[in-house]
Amino acid sequence: MLLYMHIPFCDSKCHYCSFNSFTKHHNLKRDYMQALLRQLEYELERFHITEYQITSVFVGGGTPSCVEAEVYEPIFAYLAPLLSKDCEITFEANPNSASFAWLQGIKSLGATRVSFGVQSFDANKLRFLGRAHDPKDAIQAIENAHKAGFAHINCDIIYNVKGDTKELLQKDIAQALALPIDHISAYALTIEENTPFARGGVQSQEDFSYFVRDLIPFEQYEVSNFGRYRSRHNIGYWQLQNYIGVGAGAVGFYKDKRYYPTNDLFGYIADPLHHSVENLSPEEIRTEKIFLGLRSCVGIDADLVDKHKASLLCQEGKLICQNGRYYNPNYFLADEIALFLL
C-alpha cells in the first residue's frame, strides 16, 4: 500500500504553482500535524492496514521542509510497525528550508529519498519563477543531503519557461548531473489557472522536451521522470494501485473510489475525517489505466484495448507488444496514442 502525506505550507508562492499550499498560518503547523495523525489512524483502519503492509510513503507539498523534522516524529512512530522492511520513504524539500539538521532529522525518521524542488540553477530563471532560493542554495542542499547519507536524491527541473534556450537547459542539466543525484524529474511548464503566470498572460515556450530528454543519461520511465532506479511510489500511482492520502486536499484511492478531504487548512484541522467520495465507473478506470500506462514504463494490459487498433500501432512502431501488454516507446506521444485507442 502507498501512503501520501500532504504538507500544505510554503514560505512563498511560486508564480506557476497551483498546489494546495498556504504562506500564512504557519503557527498552525503543530495543530495541522495532529489533525493529520488523526486522519492517518482513521485511514489505516479503513484500508485494513496491518504490519509491514505500507511499501512507500511520500511526504509532499507544499513544502515538507517548512515543518521541523521532530514534528513528524509522532507520525513516524505510529507508522513504524506498518512499514515494510524496505519501505521507500520520500520527502519533498525546498533548497531554502532543507537545512543540514533537517535532512539529518528526516534521515533518522527513516527517510530513504529526498526530492528537491530545484527548477533551475539559473539565478534569473529562479527569480522569474518566483522561487525563494538561489543556485548556491540548491547546490548546498543537495550536497548536504549526500553528506547526511541519502543514497537517493531527486532534482525537479522545469523547462519550456519563457527565456529558456538550449544553452541554459544544457547548463541546468549539466549542473544537476555534477551533483550526487540519481533521479531527475523534468517537468514541462504548465500554465495553471489562478496563478500569477496565468494572470500575467505568461505563456510556456517552444517545446524542449526531446532536447531535455536527450541530455539526461538516466532511464526515462515516465514522461517527466528519469532515474538510475524507478521510484516505487511513482510506479504505484501509474499502476493505479490503491493509495492512502492524508492531509488537506490529499486524494486517496481504493478500488473504484476516490476520497477527497477538504483543501481548507482551518476546515481540515477542525475535522480531518470529513471528505467527499467520487465513484469511478469501469470505463473511467479503463481510461485512467490507458493514459497512465502509456505515459510510463507500466504499459497497458492488451485486454483493455481494441486488438485491431493496437496492432496497427504496433506495425507503425508506435507500440510494442510483450507478454500480453502494450508498451509505448515514446512517452511524449502518450496522449494521442491513448485517444486513438480509447
Ligand X SMILES: C[S@@+](CC[C@H](N)C(=O)[O-])C[C@H]1O[C@@H](n2cnc3c(N)ncnc32)[C@H](O)[C@@H]1O
- Residue 132, CA distances (Å) to 37, 120, 128 in order: 29, 12, 11
DSSP codes, 66-122: GS-GGGGHHHHHHHGGGEEEEEEEEEEE-TTT--HHHHHHHHHHT--EEEEEEE-S-
Out of 43, 88, 122, 156, the residue judged to bind ligand X by CB under 6 A: 156
Out of 47, 187, 211, 259, the residue judged to bind ligand X by CB under 6 A: 187
- Report if residue 263 touches ligand X, rule: CB under 6 A: no
> Which of 3, 5, 79 lies closest to 247 in space, CA to CA?
5
- Answer yes or no: are the C-beta atoms of 147 and 100 closer than 8 Å: yes
- Which option in ligand SF4, ligand X, none does residue 187 bind, with CB closer than 5 to 8 A by kind? ligand X
Least separation, in Å, of the C-beta of 186 and ligand X?
9
- Which option in ligand SF4, ligand X, none does residue 13 bind, with CB closer than 5 to 8 A by kind? ligand SF4
Out of 90, 119, 220, 234, the residue judged to bind ligand X by CB under 6 A: 119
Give the binding site for ligand SF4 (CB under 6 A): 10, 13-14, 17, 19, 21, 61-63, 94, 117
Choices 162-170, 189-197, 270-278, 305-313 (CB under 6 A): range interacting with ligand X: 189-197
Q: Give 10 or 319: the residue with its C-beta nearer to ligand SF4.
A: 10
- Report if residue 158 touches ligand X, rule: CB under 6 A: yes
Q: Which residue is nearest to ligand X (CB)?
A: 117
Neighbours of 162 (CB within 10 A): 12
Alpha helices in the chain (DSSP H): 29-46, 73-79, 100-109, 123-129, 135-147, 166-177, 196-199, 209-215, 232-238, 265-270, 282-294, 307-315, 334-341
Q: Give 133 or 183: the residue with its C-beta nearer to ligand SF4.
A: 133
Least separation, in Å, of the C-beta of 19 and ligand X?
5
- Which option in ligand X, ligand SF4, none does residue 156 bind, with CB closer than 5 to 8 A by kind? ligand X
- Report if residue 242 touches ligand X, rule: CB under 6 A: no
- Which option in ligand X, ligand SF4, none does residue 260 bind, with CB closer than 5 to 8 A by kind? none
- Which option in ligand X, ligand SF4, none does residue 261 bind, with CB closer than 5 to 8 A by kind? none
Out of 20, 39, 56, 63, the residue judged to bind ligand X by CB under 6 A: 63
Out of 70, 86, 192, 214, the residue judged to bind ligand X by CB under 6 A: 192
**Could you give the angle at which helices 100-109 and 135-147 cross, rounded to 10 degrees?**
40
- Report if residue 229 touches ligand X, rule: CB under 6 A: no
> Which of 112, 101, 19, 121 lies closest to 60 in space, CA to CA?
19
- Report if residue 96 touches ligand X, rule: CB under 6 A: no
- Which option in ligand X, ligand SF4, none does residue 292 bind, with CB closer than 5 to 8 A by kind? none
Pull the grid cell for residue 266. 482551518
- Residue 191, CA distances (Å) to 52, 118, 316 in order: 40, 18, 33
Q: Give 94 or 225: the residue with its C-beta nearer to ligand SF4.
A: 94
Cis peptide before 105 (omega within 30 of 0): no
3-state secondary structure 144-164: HHHHCCCCEEEEEEEECCCCC
Pull the grid cell for residue 297. 514504463
- Answer yes or no: are the C-beta atoms of 276 and 260 closer than 8 Å: yes
Rule CB under 6 A: which residues touch ligand X? Answer: 16-17, 19, 60-61, 63, 92, 94, 117, 119, 156, 158, 187, 189-190, 192
